[in-house]
C-alpha cells in the first residue's frame, strides 16, 4: 500500500509541477512575495511573516488540491484505479502530492521573504511547521470535498452548506436573534399558537438581557483554533490552550478526510475524458 | 448418491469459475445501461463481447473492473478473493508527458512488482506488444496504433489473471490487428482469462472461445464459440437458372426447404432430402452448379441477436 501511494504521489507531484498550472502557481508565489514581502520595503515583523505566509499556504493548499483533484479525475487514470487494492490509496496520494507541492511553494515564499526579512530565532522556526501545516491540511481536505473527484451528488453542498451555516452563525448577534424571535412570536400569535408565541417572547427577552453572544460563541467554537493561532502569533507566545489549536485542526482534517475517502469509495468513477 | 454426484459436478464447475455476475443492473439517470445481466467468467476462457454501440459493453467492463458499482445484483470472485485484473479501456488516454517505459514502470510498481524485477517486466511487456524500439518515446508522440499496443502492455503489467480488453484492435492496421490477435491467442495459451469487446466479427471468431452478445443492456446470446458456429448447419444448392417454376414442388417436400432465385437452402431434417432434391433438379432439366454444406456465421448470429 505504501509503495503504491508513494508511486502515485511522486507521479502526481511531478506531473503537476511541470504543468502549466504548476508554473502559474509558482508565478503566483513570486507575485505574492513581491507584493507582501517586497525586499525594498522595510523589514516585516515576525508575526506578519508567520501569519501572511501561513495564510498564503492555506489558500494555496486549497487551490493546488483542487487542481490536483481535477488532474486525478482524468480518464487516463482508469487503468491505475484498477491496479489499486483500495481507493483510499488514490485519495491519499492526491492529498499527499497536493500538500508536497503546497509546502514547496510555501517554502519558496518563506525563503524569498527572508531576503531583507525578519531575523527568526530557533524558537520561531520550530513554531512554523504546526502553525503552517495544520490549516494547510484542513484547506486541502476541504478542497477535496469541493472537487468533482470526491463529490457524490449533493455531498459538497452539504459539506460547504454546514460550513456556511457555521460561518454565518459565528456572526449572529443577540440583538438580531432577539428581533427574529419577536417576529416569530408575532407570527405564532397570529396563527393562534399562544404557547409557542409566549415561549419565543421569553427567548427574545432573555437574549436582550444577556451580554454574551451565546449563538455566536457556540458556532464560533468550531473556528476557535484559527483565532487561537492568530492570537498566539500576534502575542508572540502560545498559552497551554492555544498550543492545542493545531492538533484540533488536524482532528478536523482527519474527520473530513475520512468522509472524503468514504465518499470516493462508494462513488461510480466517471472520470473526465 | 445422485445428490453427491451432482454436488461434485457443481463443485468442479465452480473451480473453473473466476468471476460470477448475477442479476446485475446499472442505470445512468434515465438510461438503463445493463438490465439483469447474469454471466459466469470461467478460468482460461477468451470471452468475446459483441453488441451495438450503447449496448452496455463498456459499462460491464467498468463494473467488473470495480470502477462502477451495480445498482442491483452482484459481481464477485468465486473463491472470495478478487483476481488481479488488467484493464485496457476503449479510449486510448494516457499521461502524454511520460515516456512509454516510465509509464509501464509505474504500472509495474502499482501492480506490486519488486524494484529489481520492474525493468525486466517493462522490457517483456514492450517486447510482447512490439514497442521495444519506442521505449523512450513520449506517449504524446505515439500513433493511435502504438497507443493501442501500449494499452495492452499496461494491462499485462503484473501478470494479471484476468484481462479486460475493450476494443483491443480498434485503430490498428491489418498487420497490427493480426499481431494483436496472435498476442491474445498467446495469452490464452498462457492460461489467461480474457474478456474482450470488439466490433470486428472476424477477430472475435478468430480468438474467442466464448461469445456473449449484448443489446440494450441485456444478454441476448451466450454460447461457446464452437457450439455457436456448428449449430444449425444447412445445405446450399445452386442451380444454373431461376427455380421459380419448380419452387412449389421443391418446397412441398419439406417445410424447412427455402427456394430463392437459383438457390435452394435445406435446414434441419430437410438436409436428409439432399439427394432427392438433386435428382428432382436433374429431372427438371436444371444443371447443378454448386452444392455446399454451410454453418451459421457469426454475422448471422449477431444480426439475429440484435434484431
What pLDDT, on a 0 to 100 scale, did the predictor assign at position B8? 52
What residues of chain A lie within 8 A of the CB of B66, using their CB? 81-82
When CB atoms are compared, the residue of B69, B87, B112 closest to A79 is: B87
Question: End-to-end distance of chain A based on CA atoms, in angstroms?
Answer: 27
> Phi then psi for A214, rounded to 5 degrees?
-65, -50
SS3 B18: strand
- B46-60 per-position pLDDT tens digit: 999 999 988 889 999
Chosen from B110, B140, B162 to mutate, greatest number of chain A CBs within 10 A: B110
A119: left (phi over 0), alpha (psi -120 to 50) or beta: beta
What number is the average pLDDT over the span B65-74? 91
Inform me whether the C-beta atom of residue A2 falls under 8 Å from chain B C-beta atoms.
no
What residues of chain B lie within 8 A of the CB of A71, using their CB? none
- B137-182 per-position pLDDT tens digit: 999 998 888 898 899 999 988 888 889 999 988 878 888 888 888 8
| A140: closest CA of chain B, how far (Å) | 24
Name the pLDDT band for B12 (thresholds 50, 70, 90): very low
Name the pLDDT band for B11 (thresholds 50, 70, 90): very low
How far is it, in rounded angstroms, from Cα B138 to Cα A79? 18
- B214-223 per-position pLDDT tens digit: 998 898 888 8
* Cβ-contact B263, B193 below 8 angstroms: no
Q: Name residue, grid cell 491505475.
A: A80
A271: left (phi over 0), alpha (psi -120 to 50) or beta: beta
- B198-235 per-position pLDDT tens digit: 888 888 888 988 999 999 889 888 888 887 777 767 88
A87 Cα distance to chain centroid = 23
What pLDDT, on a 0 to 100 scale, did the predictor assign at position B195? 92
Q: Are strands B162-166 and B257-260 parallel, antiparallel or unpaired?
A: unpaired
How far is it, in rounded angstroms, from Cα B79 to Cα B58? 25
When CB atoms are compared, the residue of B67, B97, B164 closest to A269 is: B67
pLDDT winner (highest mean) among A190-204, A251-265, B175-189, B242-256 = A251-265
Which residue would you say has higher pLDDT here, A152 or B227? A152
When CB atoms are compared, the residue of A11, A75, A83 closest to B111 is: A83
Which residue would you say has higher pLDDT here, B113 or A84? A84
Closest CA to B269 of B258, B290, B255: B255
Question: How many inter-chain contacts (A to B, CB under 8 Å) are there?
Answer: 60
When CB atoms are compared, the residue of A79, A269, A273 closest to B107 is: A79
Q: Return residues 139-198 of A near B (CB < 8 Å).
A: none
What number is the average pLDDT over the span B116-124? 88
What pLDDT, on a 0 to 100 scale, did the predictor assign at position B235? 84
pLDDT at A165 over 70: yes
How far is it, in rounded angstroms, from Cα A195 to Cα A186? 12
* Cβ-contact B152, B165 below 8 angstroms: yes
Q: Which three cell numbers stand for residue B85?
A: 485484473
Task: Name every residue whose Cβ is closer than 8 Å to that of residue B23 and which is 6 or more positions away in sequence.
Answer: B36, B37, B38, B72, B73, B74
| A134: closest CA of chain B, how far (Å) | 30
What residues of chain A lie within 8 A of the CB of B154, using their CB? 79
Judged by CB atoms closer than 8 Å, whether chains meet at A4 and B109 is answered as yes
What pLDDT, on a 0 to 100 scale, did the predictor assign at position B16? 59
Q: Which three cell numbers stand for residue B304?
A: 439475429
What residues of chain A lie within 8 A of the CB of B109, using their CB? 3-4, 7
Chosen from A79, A152, A269 to mutate, greatest number of chain B CBs within 10 A: A79
Judged by CB atoms closer than 8 Å, whether chains meet at A75 and B91 is answered as yes
Share of chain B above pLDDT 90, in %: 19
Q: Are strands B210-215 and B218-224 parallel, antiparallel or unpaired?
A: antiparallel
Judged by CB atoms closer than 8 Å, whether chains meet at B158 and A83 is answered as yes
Share of chain A above pLDDT 90, in %: 46
Chosen from A6, A16, A83 to mutate, greatest number of chain B CBs within 10 A: A83
When CB atoms are compared, the residue of A3, A15, A269 closest to B95 is: A15
Judged by CB atoms closer than 8 Å, whether chains meet at A80 and B110 is answered as yes
* Cβ-contact A160, A146 below 8 angstroms: yes
What number is the average pLDDT over the span A117-137? 84
For the entire predicted model, the pTM comes to: 0.82
Judged by CB atoms closer than 8 Å, whether chains meet at B89 and A15 is answered as no
Judged by CB atoms closer than 8 Å, whether chains meet at A76 and B111 is answered as no
Name the pLDDT band for A142 (thresholds 50, 70, 90): very high
Judged by CB atoms closer than 8 Å, whether chains meet at B110 and A83 is answered as yes
What number is the average pLDDT over the span A131-150? 93
What pLDDT, on a 0 to 100 scale, did the predictor assign at position B19? 82
Q: Which of A73-77, A102-106, B76-80 has the lowest mean pLDDT?
A: B76-80
Judged by CB atoms closer than 8 Å, whether chains meet at B67 and A268 is answered as yes
pLDDT at A258 over 90: yes
Question: End-to-end distance of chain B based on CA atoms, in angstroms?
Answer: 45
pLDDT at A239 over 50: yes
What pLDDT, on a 0 to 100 scale, did the predictor assign at position B3? 57
Task: Name every residue whose Cβ is closer than 8 Å to that of residue A262 and which is 6 or more positions away in sequence.
Answer: none
pLDDT at A167 over 70: yes
Chosen from B95, B96, B108 to mutate, greatest number of chain A CBs within 10 A: B95
Amino acid at each position: 500500500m505504501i509503495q503504491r501511494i508513494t508511486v502515485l504521489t511522486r507521479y502526481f507531484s511531478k506531473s503537476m509541477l511541470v504543468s502549466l498550472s504548476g508554473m502559474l502557481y509558482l508565478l503566483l508565489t513570486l507575485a505574492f512575495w513581491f507584493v507582501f514581502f517586497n525586499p525594498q520595503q522595510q523589514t516585516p515583523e515576525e508575526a506578519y511573516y508567520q501569519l501572511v505566509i501561513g495564510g498564503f499556504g492555506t489558500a494555496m493548499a486549497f487551490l493546488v488540491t483542487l487542481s490536483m483533484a481535477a488532474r486525478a479525475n482524468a480518464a487516463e487514470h482508469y487503468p491505475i484505479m484498477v491496479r489499486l487494492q483500495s481507493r483510499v490509496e488514490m485519495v491519499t496520494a492526491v492529498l499527499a502530492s497536493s500538500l508536497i507541492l503546497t509546502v514547496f511553494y510555501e517554502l519558496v515564499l518563506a525563503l524569498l521573504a527572508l531576503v531583507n526579512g525578519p531575523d527568526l530565532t530557533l524558537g520561531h522556526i520550530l513554531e512554523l511547521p504546526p502553525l503552517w501545516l495544520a490549516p494547510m491540511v484542513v484547506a486541502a481536505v476541504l478542497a477535496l470535498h469541493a472537487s468533482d473527484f470526491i463529490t457524490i451528488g449533493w455531498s459538497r453542498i452539504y459539506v460547504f452548506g454546514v460550513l456556511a451555516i457555521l460561518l454565518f452563525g459565528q456572526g449572529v448577534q443577540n440583538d438580531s436573534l432577539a428581533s427574529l424571535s419577536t417576529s416569530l412570536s408575532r407570527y405564532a400569535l397570529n396563527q393562534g399558537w399562544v404557547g409557542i408565541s409566549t415561549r419565543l417572547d421569553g427567548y427574545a427577552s432573555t437574549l436582550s438581557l444577556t451580554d454574551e453572544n451565546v449563538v455566536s460563541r457556540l458556532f464560533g467554537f468550531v473556528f476557535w483554533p484559527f483565532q487561537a493561532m492568530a492570537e498566539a502569533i500576534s502575542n508572540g507566545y502560545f498559552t497551554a490552550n492555544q498550543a492545542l489549536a493545531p492538533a484540533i485542526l488536524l482532528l478536523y482534517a482527519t474527520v473530513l478526510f475520512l468522509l472524503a475517502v468514504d465518499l470516493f469509495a462508494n462513488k461510480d468513477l466517471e472520470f473526465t475524458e | 448418491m445422485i445428490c453427491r454426484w451432482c454436488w461434485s459436478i457443481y463443485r468442479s464447475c465452480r473451480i473453473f469459475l473466476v468471476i460470477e455476475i448475477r442479476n446485475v443492473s446499472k442505470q445512468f439517470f434515465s438510461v438503463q445501461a445493463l438490465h439483469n445481466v447474469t454471466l459466469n467468467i470461467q478460468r482460461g476462457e477468451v470471452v468475446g463481447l459483441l453488441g451495438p454501440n450503447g449496448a452496455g459493453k463498456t459499462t460491464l467492463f467498468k463494473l467488473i473492473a470495480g470502477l462502477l458499482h451495480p445498482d442491483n445484483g452482484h459481481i464477485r470472485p468465486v473463491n472470495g478473493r478478487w483476481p488481479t485484473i488488467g484493464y485496457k479501456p476503449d479510449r486510448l488516454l494516457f499521461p502524454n508527458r511520460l515516456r512509454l517505459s516510465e509509464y509501464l514502470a509505474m504500472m509495474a510498481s502499482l501492480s506490486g512488482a519488486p524494484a529489481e524485477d520492474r525493468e525486466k517486466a517493462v522490457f517483456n511487456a514492450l517486447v510482447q506488444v512490439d514497442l521495444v524500439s519506442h521505449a523512450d518515446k513520449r506517449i504524446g508522440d505515439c500513433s493511435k496504433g502504438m497507443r493501442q499496443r501500449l494499452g495492452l502492455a499496461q494491462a499485462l503489467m503484473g501478470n494479471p489473471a484476468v484481462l479486460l480488453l475493450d476494443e483491443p484492435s480498434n485503430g490498428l492496421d491489418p498487420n497490427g490487428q493480426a499481431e494483436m490477435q496472435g498476442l491474445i491467442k498467446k495469452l490464452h495459451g498462457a492460461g489467461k482469462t480474457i474478456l474482450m469487446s470488439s466490433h470486428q466479427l472476424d477477430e472475435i471468431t478468430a480468438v474467442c472461445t466464448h461469445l456473449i452478445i449484448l443489446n440494450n443492456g441485456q444478454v441476448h446470446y451466450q454460447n461457446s464459440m464452437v457450439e455457436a458456429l456448428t449449430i444449425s448447419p444447412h445445405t446450399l444448392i445452386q442451380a444454373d437458372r431461376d427455380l421459380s417454376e419448380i419452387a412449389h414442388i421443391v418446397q412441398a417436400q419439406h417445410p424447412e426447404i427455402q427456394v430463392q432465385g437459383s438457390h435452394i437452402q435445406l435446414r434441419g431434417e430437410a438436409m436428409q432430402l439432399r439427394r432427392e432434391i438433386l435428382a428432382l433438379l436433374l429431372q427438371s432439366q436444371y444443371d447443378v452448379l454448386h452444392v455446399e454444406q454451410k454453418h451459421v456465421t457469426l454475422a448471422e448470429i449477431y444480426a439475429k441477436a440484435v434484431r
